[in-house]
């Protein structure tokens, strides 16, 4: 299995930037996903990284360093609707996903 660590909670102000870190330990790796999950809803796909570097998609960016077992999700120009849980998930060698416990982001006006 995997050890996947991410902070439990983060709070930020509307319009600000928040960075959610994720560290993982694995013996096999086929990529890293970030999912967004609003309270009471299903997780929805945000990003996927398999190569080192930064992937930018609008206000959201995701970074991966395979050698360090590290990823982050960067949320820019925060909006109230970004209040949600953000799940880091590693695609294992057998192509199953292992999830971190999630980071709850609260955006305040």
Partner 1 sequence: IAGITQAPTSQILAAGRRMTLRCTQDMRHNAMYWYRQDLGLGLRLIHYSNTAGTTGKGEVPDGYSVSRANTDDFPLTLASAVPSQTSVYFCASSDSTDSYNEQFFGPGTRLTVL
Q: How far is the CB of 103 from partner 1 (least distance, A)?
A: 10
**Binding of partner 1 by 30 (CB under 8 A):** yes
Which residue, among 89, 102, 79, has the nearest Cα to 20 in the 3D structure?
102
DSSP, res 82: G
Q: In 3D, which of 30, 1, 23, 18 has the Cα closest to residue 85? A: 18
Residue 69 touches partner 1, criterion: CB under 8 A: no
Question: Considering only CA atoms, which of 56, 59, 69, 55 is closest in space to residue 21?
Answer: 69
Residue closer to partner 1, measured from CB, 60 or 76:
60
- Answer yes or no whether residue 63 interacts with partner 1 by CB under 8 A: no
Query: Is there binding between residue 53 and partner 1 (CB under 8 A)?
Result: no
Helix (H, G, I), strand (E, B) or coil at 81: helix
Examine residue 43 and tell whether it contacts partner 1 (CB under 8 A): yes
Tell the burial category of 4 from Cβ atoms under 10 Å away from its Cβ (0-12, 13-18, 19+).
Answer: buried
Among 9, 14, 41, 56, binds partner 1 (CB under 8 A): 41
Contacting residues toward partner 1, per CB under 8 A: 1, 4, 8, 30-31, 33, 41-45, 48, 50, 87, 89, 91, 95-102
């Amino acid at each position: 299995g995997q050890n996947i660590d991410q902070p439990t909670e983060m709070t930020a102000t509307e319009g600000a930037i928040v960075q959610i870190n994720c560290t993982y330990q694995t013996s096999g790796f086929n990529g890293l996903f970030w999912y967004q999950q609003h309270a009471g809803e299903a997780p929805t796909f945000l990003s996927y990284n398999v190569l080192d570097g930064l992937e930018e998609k609008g206000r959201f960016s995701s970074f991966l360093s395979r050698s360090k077992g590290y990823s982050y999700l960067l949320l820019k120009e925060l909006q109230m609707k970004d209040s949600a849980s953000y799940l880091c998930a590693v695609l294992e060698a057998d192509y199953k996903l292992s999830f971190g416990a999630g980071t709850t982001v609260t955006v305040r006006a």
